[in-house]
Amino acid sequence: MAQSQQPLTGKRIACLAADGVEDVEYTQPRAAAEQAGAEVHLISLKPGEIQAMNQDIDQANRYRVDRTVNEANAADYDALLLPGGTVNPDRLRVNPQAMDFVRAFFEQQKPVAAICHGPWSLVETGMVNGRTVTSFPSLRTDIRNAGGNWVDQQVQVDNGLVTSRSPNDLPAFCAKMVEEFAEGRHVRQMQTA
């Protein structure tokens, strides 16, 4: 694909993940963004590397962290990716700096994409209130209790927020993620009920 045809050329994407991230939910969206021309940075809680997992049980690859959440600034990025795995978002949602980082993307009206258990960060920050989202089915009650409308869809888009249920949804998730990231800011991104 010619450089001029790449929809994310010149865009910088932050991927917020910690130990326990589901390997394929990190690697496939990252590859889709990079193939569309984006520069992607792995942001995490600590420097060094994070340990990815396969189905929350088996160790997968390790990935080099580009910046810690304390070093990163949402203003330096055009969009945010939140991959899942059960352990990864659970570690993130109890870290105040990580949740401030997530919230900043909404405050700056930038697109956000979250898959599987990734929407736990959206629940923690209050960003599902008044939104229609999907996720791994076990988050359904959490999302509803946080004021969100949970739907069982392969991919759901709500004003710059892209969500999907599981690795099975990755092709649809990646396509919509690239589309929303290419569109850029969404003025209704911060509006919640």
* Residues recognised as catalytic: 116-117
The full DSSP string for the chain is --GGG-TTTT-EEEEE--TT-BHHHHHHHHHHHHHTT-EEEEEESSSSEEEEEETTTEEEEEEE-SEETTT--GGG-SEEEE---SHHHHHHHT-HHHHHHHHHHHHTT--EEEETTTTHHHHHHTTTTT-EE---GGGHHHHHHTT-EE---SEEEETTEEEESSGGGHHHHHHHHHHHHHH---TTTT---
